[in-house]
Amino acid sequence: MTRASAYKLTQKTEILTNFWGKSEALSLQEAFSSLEDPRIERHKKHNLLDILILTICAVISGAEGWEAIEHFGKEKEQWLRQWIALENGIPSHDCIARVIARIEPEKLTECFVRWARSLSELSEGEVVALDGKTARCSYQRKNKLGAIHRVSAWASGVGLSLGQVKTAEKSNEITAIPELLELLEIKGCIITIDAMGCQTDIAKKIIEKQADYVLAVKDNQKLLHEAIRDYFDVAISDAAFYRLV
């Protein structure tokens, strides 16, 4: 590990420590305790929560891949033992991968959203940006698997991802956005979405959640786009006329 990487890892570990120290925040143990362990009892060498918390902390600290998660655990084992038992030490990367792969993604997302929500109470007028991204290097040509695309919610003011929903492809963002909104507590917030999210059902969902919205409008909503342009053309024309008068 380079000196720069070690410094970045230390910085992010300190941030995690600060999160854990917030009295009003759920601990990771509390947030993820409802998850069912998919393993057979006799095959359990490592506690499920130990594996989950190690993985979450490693990924937040910048680990990419199972081996990097194991490496993080070994580098930060003493720090991790403040929060989790690790009775049998740091699990191998193969063990971590097998366990995480068997957990239902939807259940994991629900737990993560619950934890993230407890870290920071969104204030009135907080801007929450919804956007779709394709995960880098997620396309698998060998197995004929497409790249992973997901829609996430980012709270700009607190610098925190509030949750995400995986989609089959970018065109499915329209159906994924309402699912993500359903997970979030966004009362009083301002939701921003790009032109793909400019849909009547999405706007209705945001209003149901007692939030406001700023939606980009392009030619995917041709009549609305033309009406807005006409409105501003008339307003600009009227303003120019009154200045001349």
In this prediction, the residues of the chain whose per-residue pLDDT falls under 70 are 1-24, 120-121, 135-147, 168-171, 241-242, 244-245
Instruction: Write out pLDDT tens, residues 130-187.
Output: 988 876 665 666 656 566 788 889 888 878 788 888 886 655 788 889 988 988 888 8
Q: Spell out the domain ranges in the chain.
A: 3-112, 123-223
Instruction: Classify residue 154 by its DSSP letter.
Output: E
State the virtual CA torsion across 88, 74, 17, 32 in degrees, nearest 10: -50
The superfamily CATH assigns to domain 123-223 is: Ribonuclease H-like superfamily/Ribonuclease H (3.30.420.10)
Instruction: Write out pLDDT tens, residues 117-140.
Output: 777 667 778 899 998 887 666 566
User: What is the identity of the amino acid at 44?
Assistant: K
Q: Which residues make beta-bridge pairs with 160?
A: 155
The tokens of 79 are what?
A: 């720090």
